[in-house]
Homo-oligomer: A and B are copies of this chain.
Protein backbone atom coordinates (compact mmCIF):
# COMPACT_ATOMS: atom_id res chain seq x y z
CA UNK A 1 0.00 0.00 0.00
CA UNK A 2 1.36 3.37 -0.94
CA UNK A 3 0.60 6.63 0.67
CA UNK A 4 -2.81 8.15 0.91
CA UNK A 5 -4.25 10.23 -1.91
CA UNK A 6 -4.26 14.00 -1.42
CA UNK A 7 -6.64 16.62 -2.69
CA UNK A 8 -4.12 17.36 -5.41
CA UNK A 9 -4.25 13.78 -6.65
CA UNK A 10 -8.00 14.00 -6.86
CA UNK A 11 -7.82 17.35 -8.66
CA UNK A 12 -5.41 15.97 -11.25
CA UNK A 13 -7.47 12.88 -11.88
CA UNK A 14 -10.61 14.95 -12.28
CA UNK A 15 -8.82 17.57 -14.31
CA UNK A 16 -9.71 20.46 -12.00
CA UNK A 17 -8.03 22.56 -9.33
CA UNK A 18 -7.56 21.81 -5.66
CA UNK A 19 -10.00 24.50 -4.69
CA UNK A 20 -12.75 22.90 -6.71
CA UNK A 21 -12.12 19.61 -4.98
CA UNK A 22 -12.31 21.28 -1.61
CA UNK A 23 -15.55 23.06 -2.39
CA UNK A 24 -17.32 20.05 -3.81
CA UNK A 25 -16.28 17.64 -1.11
CA UNK A 26 -17.44 20.07 1.52
CA UNK A 27 -20.87 20.43 0.02
CA UNK A 28 -20.37 23.93 -1.25
CA UNK A 29 -20.08 22.84 -4.87
CA UNK A 30 -23.46 24.03 -6.11
CA UNK A 31 -23.30 27.52 -7.44
CA UNK A 32 -19.51 27.40 -7.55
CA UNK A 33 -18.54 24.39 -9.59
CA UNK A 34 -20.10 23.02 -12.77
CA UNK A 35 -22.30 20.00 -12.30
CA UNK A 36 -20.19 17.77 -14.47
CA UNK A 37 -17.00 18.77 -12.75
CA UNK A 38 -18.67 17.88 -9.50
CA UNK A 39 -19.43 14.41 -10.78
CA UNK A 40 -15.88 13.88 -12.01
CA UNK A 41 -14.51 15.09 -8.70
CA UNK A 42 -16.67 12.75 -6.69
CA UNK A 43 -15.74 9.85 -8.93
CA UNK A 44 -12.06 10.63 -8.65
CA UNK A 45 -12.30 10.91 -4.89
CA UNK A 46 -14.03 7.56 -4.71
CA UNK A 47 -11.58 5.71 -6.92
CA UNK A 48 -8.62 7.16 -5.07
CA UNK A 49 -10.30 6.45 -1.79
CA UNK A 50 -9.66 9.98 -0.75
CA UNK A 51 -10.28 11.28 2.73
CA UNK A 52 -8.85 14.58 3.87
CA UNK A 53 -5.82 14.62 6.10
CA UNK A 54 -7.05 15.52 9.54
CA UNK A 55 -3.69 16.95 10.53
CA UNK A 56 -3.68 19.45 7.72
CA UNK A 57 -7.23 20.35 8.56
CA UNK A 58 -6.34 20.95 12.16
CA UNK A 59 -3.46 23.20 11.28
CA UNK A 60 -5.53 25.20 8.88
CA UNK A 61 -8.65 25.50 10.99
CA UNK A 62 -6.90 25.87 14.30
CA UNK A 63 -9.21 23.26 15.69
CA UNK A 64 -8.37 19.61 15.87
CA UNK A 65 -11.69 18.03 16.71
CA UNK A 66 -9.84 16.23 19.45
CA UNK A 67 -11.01 16.28 23.05
CA UNK A 68 -8.30 15.52 25.55
CA UNK A 69 -9.24 13.43 28.55
CA UNK A 70 -7.08 13.29 31.62
CA UNK A 71 -7.90 10.37 33.86
CA UNK A 72 -6.38 9.62 37.20
CA UNK A 73 -6.66 5.92 36.60
CA UNK A 74 -8.51 4.62 33.61
CA UNK A 75 -7.17 1.36 33.37
CA UNK A 76 -7.81 -1.00 36.10
CA UNK A 77 -11.20 0.30 36.99
CA UNK A 78 -14.47 -0.25 35.27
CA UNK A 79 -15.47 3.09 36.74
CA UNK A 80 -13.44 5.62 34.86
CA UNK A 81 -13.73 3.42 31.84
CA UNK A 82 -17.46 3.75 31.75
CA UNK A 83 -17.38 7.49 32.16
CA UNK A 84 -14.94 7.74 29.30
CA UNK A 85 -17.01 5.38 27.20
CA UNK A 86 -20.05 7.58 27.69
CA UNK A 87 -18.07 10.67 26.84
CA UNK A 88 -16.42 9.06 23.86
CA UNK A 89 -19.71 7.94 22.37
CA UNK A 90 -21.02 11.49 22.44
CA UNK A 91 -17.80 12.88 21.05
CA UNK A 92 -17.69 10.37 18.24
CA UNK A 93 -21.27 11.10 17.30
CA UNK A 94 -20.21 14.68 16.63
CA UNK A 95 -17.08 13.85 14.70
CA UNK A 96 -14.69 14.32 17.57
CA UNK A 97 -12.01 11.94 18.71
CA UNK A 98 -10.86 11.59 22.30
CA UNK A 99 -7.36 11.03 23.48
CA UNK A 100 -6.89 9.80 26.98
CA UNK A 101 -3.87 10.43 29.15
CA UNK A 102 -3.67 8.48 32.34
CA UNK A 103 -1.77 9.93 35.26
CA UNK A 104 -2.01 6.69 37.21
CA UNK A 105 -2.87 8.63 40.36
CA UNK A 106 0.34 10.65 40.19
CA UNK A 107 -0.80 14.23 40.65
CA UNK A 108 2.51 15.64 39.54
CA UNK A 109 1.69 14.34 36.09
CA UNK A 110 -1.47 16.42 35.85
CA UNK A 111 0.09 19.51 34.41
CA UNK A 112 2.30 17.69 31.96
CA UNK A 113 -0.58 15.60 30.71
CA UNK A 114 -2.56 18.75 30.09
CA UNK A 115 0.41 20.39 28.44
CA UNK A 116 0.91 17.45 26.09
CA UNK A 117 -2.73 17.55 25.17
CA UNK A 118 -2.60 21.30 24.63
CA UNK A 119 0.36 20.89 22.32
CA UNK A 120 -1.82 18.59 20.31
CA UNK A 121 -4.25 21.45 19.94
CA UNK A 122 -7.14 19.75 21.66
CA UNK A 123 -10.32 21.74 21.34
CA UNK A 124 -11.45 20.90 24.85
CA UNK A 125 -10.40 19.08 27.98
CA UNK A 126 -12.09 16.75 30.42
CA UNK A 127 -10.75 15.54 33.74
CA UNK A 128 -12.08 12.21 35.00
CA UNK A 129 -11.43 10.49 38.32
CA UNK A 130 -12.14 6.95 39.45
CA UNK A 131 -13.75 7.93 42.67
CA UNK A 132 -15.63 11.10 43.45
CA UNK A 133 -13.11 13.58 44.77
CA UNK A 134 -12.16 17.23 45.06
CA UNK A 135 -9.12 18.49 43.18
CA UNK A 136 -7.37 21.60 42.07
CA UNK A 137 -7.70 21.86 38.33
CA UNK A 138 -4.39 22.11 36.50
CA UNK A 139 -3.92 25.75 35.62
CA UNK A 140 -3.35 25.08 31.96
CA UNK A 141 -6.74 23.56 31.74
CA UNK A 142 -8.28 27.01 31.74
CA UNK A 143 -6.79 27.72 28.31
CA UNK A 144 -9.50 25.75 26.57
CA UNK A 145 -13.09 24.90 27.46
CA UNK A 146 -13.01 22.21 30.10
CA UNK A 147 -15.19 20.04 32.25
CA UNK A 148 -14.74 17.80 35.27
CA UNK A 149 -16.37 14.39 35.55
CA UNK A 150 -16.71 12.63 38.89
CA UNK A 151 -14.63 15.31 40.53
CA UNK A 152 -14.98 18.97 41.43
CA UNK A 153 -12.88 21.95 42.34
CA UNK A 154 -14.00 23.25 45.69
CA UNK A 155 -12.52 26.68 45.16
CA UNK A 156 -15.58 28.64 44.08
CA UNK A 157 -13.64 30.77 41.65
CA UNK A 158 -12.18 27.87 39.71
CA UNK A 159 -14.99 28.11 37.23
CA UNK A 160 -14.75 24.70 35.63
CA UNK A 161 -18.13 23.00 35.45
CA UNK A 162 -18.38 19.60 37.09
CA UNK A 163 -20.63 16.62 36.57
CA UNK A 164 -20.95 14.37 39.61
CA UNK A 165 -23.33 11.74 40.92
CA UNK A 166 -26.01 12.75 43.38
CA UNK A 167 -24.61 10.62 46.19
CA UNK A 168 -26.76 12.06 48.94
CA UNK A 169 -29.89 11.20 47.07
CA UNK A 170 -28.44 7.77 46.24
CA UNK A 171 -27.86 7.02 49.89
CA UNK A 172 -31.30 8.28 50.72
CA UNK A 173 -33.04 6.15 48.13
CA UNK A 174 -31.08 3.07 49.09
CA UNK A 175 -32.18 3.42 52.69
CA UNK A 176 -35.73 4.20 51.61
CA UNK A 177 -35.88 0.99 49.62
CA UNK A 178 -34.98 -0.98 52.72
CA UNK A 179 -37.26 1.05 54.98
CA UNK A 180 -40.13 0.31 52.65
CA UNK A 181 -39.41 -3.39 52.96
CA UNK A 182 -40.01 -3.00 56.66
CA UNK A 183 -36.41 -2.92 57.87
CA UNK A 184 -35.77 -0.73 60.88
CA UNK A 185 -32.33 -1.83 61.96
CA UNK A 186 -30.10 -1.18 58.99
CA UNK A 187 -26.32 -1.13 59.11
CA UNK A 188 -24.17 0.88 56.72
CA UNK A 189 -20.78 -0.41 55.71
CA UNK A 190 -18.96 2.68 54.52
CA UNK A 191 -15.76 2.98 52.55
CA UNK A 192 -13.44 5.47 54.13
CA UNK A 193 -13.78 9.04 55.23
CA UNK A 194 -11.33 10.44 52.72
CA UNK A 195 -13.38 10.05 49.55
CA UNK A 196 -16.45 12.24 49.69
CA UNK A 197 -18.64 9.49 48.26
CA UNK A 198 -19.04 7.54 51.50
CA UNK A 199 -19.91 10.51 53.73
CA UNK A 200 -22.47 11.73 51.24
CA UNK A 201 -24.09 8.34 50.97
CA UNK A 202 -24.21 8.18 54.75
CA UNK A 203 -25.77 11.61 54.89
CA UNK A 204 -28.50 10.42 52.56
CA UNK A 205 -28.94 7.35 54.69
CA UNK A 206 -29.51 9.48 57.76
CA UNK A 207 -31.87 11.77 55.89
CA UNK A 208 -34.05 8.81 54.95
CA UNK A 209 -34.30 7.72 58.56
CA UNK A 210 -35.07 11.23 59.62
CA UNK A 211 -37.80 11.59 57.04
CA UNK A 212 -39.30 8.34 58.31
CA UNK A 213 -39.09 9.58 61.87
CA UNK A 214 -36.84 6.69 62.83
CA UNK A 215 -33.51 6.64 64.65
CA UNK A 216 -30.25 5.26 63.25
CA UNK A 217 -29.00 2.88 65.92
CA UNK A 218 -25.60 3.88 67.27
CA UNK A 219 -22.72 1.79 65.99
CA UNK A 220 -24.57 0.97 62.81
CA UNK A 221 -22.38 3.09 60.57
CA UNK A 222 -19.06 1.31 60.13
CA UNK A 223 -16.11 2.67 58.25
CA UNK A 224 -14.90 -0.46 56.55
CA UNK A 225 -12.88 0.17 53.42
CA UNK A 226 -13.84 -0.72 49.87
CA UNK A 227 -12.92 -4.33 49.21
CA UNK A 228 -14.31 -7.82 49.55
CA UNK A 229 -12.33 -8.67 52.66
CA UNK A 230 -13.41 -5.45 54.32
CA UNK A 231 -17.03 -6.35 53.70
CA UNK A 232 -16.42 -9.80 55.03
CA UNK A 233 -14.90 -8.61 58.27
CA UNK A 234 -17.43 -5.85 58.71
CA UNK A 235 -20.24 -8.34 58.36
CA UNK A 236 -18.61 -10.74 60.79
CA UNK A 237 -18.46 -7.96 63.34
CA UNK A 238 -22.14 -7.24 62.80
CA UNK A 239 -23.41 -10.81 62.63
CA UNK A 240 -21.08 -13.36 64.13
CA UNK A 241 -22.26 -14.63 67.50
CA UNK A 242 -24.94 -11.97 67.71
CA UNK A 243 -28.43 -13.12 68.64
CA UNK A 244 -31.13 -12.45 66.11
CA UNK A 245 -32.84 -9.55 67.93
CA UNK A 246 -29.56 -7.63 68.09
CA UNK A 247 -28.64 -8.22 64.49
CA UNK A 248 -29.32 -5.65 61.82
CA UNK A 249 -31.86 -7.07 59.40
CA UNK A 250 -30.25 -5.31 56.47
CA UNK A 251 -26.78 -4.14 55.53
CA UNK A 252 -26.19 -1.51 52.90
CA UNK A 253 -22.68 -1.35 51.52
CA UNK A 254 -20.83 1.57 50.03
CA UNK A 255 -20.02 -0.56 47.00
CA UNK A 256 -20.68 -3.95 45.44
CA UNK A 257 -17.43 -5.60 46.42
CA UNK A 258 -18.18 -4.94 50.07
CA UNK A 259 -21.55 -6.58 49.49
CA UNK A 260 -19.82 -9.65 48.05
CA UNK A 261 -17.84 -9.89 51.27
CA UNK A 262 -20.98 -9.55 53.32
CA UNK A 263 -22.71 -12.38 51.47
CA UNK A 264 -19.60 -14.52 51.83
CA UNK A 265 -19.72 -13.96 55.58
CA UNK A 266 -23.45 -14.63 55.77
CA UNK A 267 -23.02 -17.88 53.89
CA UNK A 268 -20.32 -18.95 56.23
CA UNK A 269 -22.51 -18.18 59.24
CA UNK A 270 -25.41 -20.12 57.81
CA UNK A 271 -27.46 -16.98 57.30
CA UNK A 272 -29.53 -16.83 54.14
CA UNK A 273 -29.60 -13.71 51.99
CA UNK A 274 -32.13 -12.15 51.83
CA UNK A 275 -34.29 -14.34 54.10
CA UNK A 276 -32.23 -13.73 57.24
CA UNK A 277 -30.48 -10.55 56.22
CA UNK A 278 -30.88 -8.22 53.26
CA UNK A 279 -27.76 -6.93 51.54
CA UNK A 280 -27.45 -3.96 49.25
CA UNK A 281 -24.53 -2.91 47.13
CA UNK A 282 -23.72 0.37 45.45
CA UNK A 283 -22.29 1.08 41.96
CA UNK A 284 -23.86 -1.80 40.01
CA UNK A 285 -20.39 -2.93 39.08
CA UNK A 286 -20.31 -4.66 35.74
CA UNK A 287 -20.03 -8.43 35.86
CA UNK A 288 -20.28 -8.43 39.64
CA UNK A 289 -23.60 -7.11 40.87
CA UNK A 290 -25.85 -8.81 38.36
CA UNK A 291 -24.10 -12.19 38.40
CA UNK A 292 -23.61 -12.45 42.13
CA UNK A 293 -25.48 -15.22 43.97
CA UNK A 294 -27.90 -13.87 44.96
CA UNK A 295 -27.89 -11.10 42.36
CA UNK A 296 -27.27 -7.85 44.17
CA UNK A 297 -29.78 -5.12 44.70
CA UNK A 298 -27.69 -2.01 44.24
CA UNK A 299 -27.64 1.68 43.54
CA UNK A 300 -26.23 2.09 40.06
CA UNK A 301 -23.74 4.87 39.54
CA UNK A 302 -24.69 6.75 36.39
CA UNK A 303 -21.21 6.54 34.94
CA UNK A 304 -21.97 6.52 31.25
CA UNK A 305 -24.57 9.19 31.73
CA UNK A 306 -22.08 11.36 33.58
CA UNK A 307 -19.54 10.99 30.83
CA UNK A 308 -22.13 11.73 28.22
CA UNK A 309 -23.48 14.73 30.11
CA UNK A 310 -20.02 16.15 30.65
CA UNK A 311 -19.08 15.75 27.00
CA UNK A 312 -22.37 17.14 25.78
CA UNK A 313 -21.89 20.25 27.86
CA UNK A 314 -18.33 20.63 26.71
CA UNK A 315 -19.17 20.32 23.03
CA UNK A 316 -22.00 22.78 23.44
CA UNK A 317 -19.61 25.26 24.92
CA UNK A 318 -17.26 24.67 22.01
CA UNK A 319 -19.87 25.41 19.42
CA UNK A 320 -21.11 28.49 21.25
CA UNK A 321 -17.61 29.88 21.36
CA UNK A 322 -16.91 30.20 17.65
CA UNK A 323 -13.65 32.05 17.92
CA UNK A 324 -12.94 33.87 21.15
CA UNK A 325 -14.10 32.65 24.51
CA UNK A 326 -16.80 34.14 26.68
CA UNK A 327 -16.79 34.03 30.41
CA UNK A 328 -20.39 33.06 30.98
CA UNK A 329 -20.52 30.41 33.63
CA UNK A 330 -22.49 27.32 32.63
CA UNK A 331 -25.86 27.27 34.35
CA UNK A 332 -26.03 24.66 37.07
CA UNK A 333 -28.89 22.21 36.87
CA UNK A 334 -28.81 21.41 40.54
CA UNK A 335 -26.38 21.56 43.40
CA UNK A 336 -23.79 24.29 43.71
CA UNK A 337 -23.30 26.63 40.82
CA UNK A 338 -21.32 24.95 38.08
CA UNK A 339 -22.08 21.51 39.42
CA UNK A 340 -24.45 19.14 37.68
CA UNK A 341 -25.79 16.36 39.86
CA UNK A 342 -26.73 13.17 38.04
CA UNK A 343 -29.12 10.86 39.89
CA UNK A 344 -28.20 7.28 40.70
CA UNK A 345 -30.57 4.48 39.75
CA UNK A 346 -31.97 1.89 42.14
CA UNK A 347 -31.64 -1.62 40.72
CA UNK A 348 -33.67 -4.16 42.66
CA UNK A 349 -32.47 -7.74 42.36
CA UNK A 350 -32.52 -10.65 44.75
CA UNK A 351 -30.35 -9.73 47.70
CA UNK A 352 -32.97 -7.64 49.45
CA UNK A 353 -36.32 -8.78 50.73
CA UNK A 354 -38.90 -8.11 53.42
CA UNK A 355 -37.72 -7.88 56.99
CA UNK A 356 -37.72 -11.32 58.65
CA UNK A 357 -40.71 -11.65 60.96
Q: Residues on A close to B: CB < 8 A?
A: 1, 4, 51-56, 58-59, 64, 66, 74-78, 81-82, 84-85, 88, 97-102, 104, 115-116, 118-121, 142-143, 227-230, 232, 257, 260-261, 263-265, 267-268, 270, 286-288, 291-293, 295
Contacts and interface: CB of A to CB of B under 8 A. Distances in A.
Nearest to A233: B293
A114 to B, nearest CB: 12
Nearest to A270: B270
Q: From A4, A74, A101, name the one whose CB has the most chain B CB atoms within 10 angstroms.
A: A74
A1 B143 contact: yes
How many copies of this kind of chain does the complex include? 2
8 contacts: A54-B121, A74-B81, A74-B84, A76-B81, A98-B99, A227-B291, A257-B288, A265-B293
Contacts of A97: 99, 101, 116, 120
B287 A227 contact: yes
A121 B53 contact: yes
A264 to B, nearest CB: 6
Contacts of A98: 99-100
B64 A75 contact: no
A303 to B, nearest CB: 9
A64 B55 contact: yes
A204 to B, nearest CB: 25
A257 to B, nearest CB: 6
Nearest to A119: B54
A52 B120 CA distance: 9
B263 A264 contact: yes
Contact of A55 (B120, B142, B292): B120
Given A76-B78, A85-B104, A229-B291, 12 more contacts: A75-B81, A75-B84, A76-B81, A76-B85, A97-B101, A97-B116, A228-B292, A229-B295, A264-B264, A264-B267, A267-B267, A270-B270
A287 B265 CA distance: 18
A154 B224 CA distance: 49
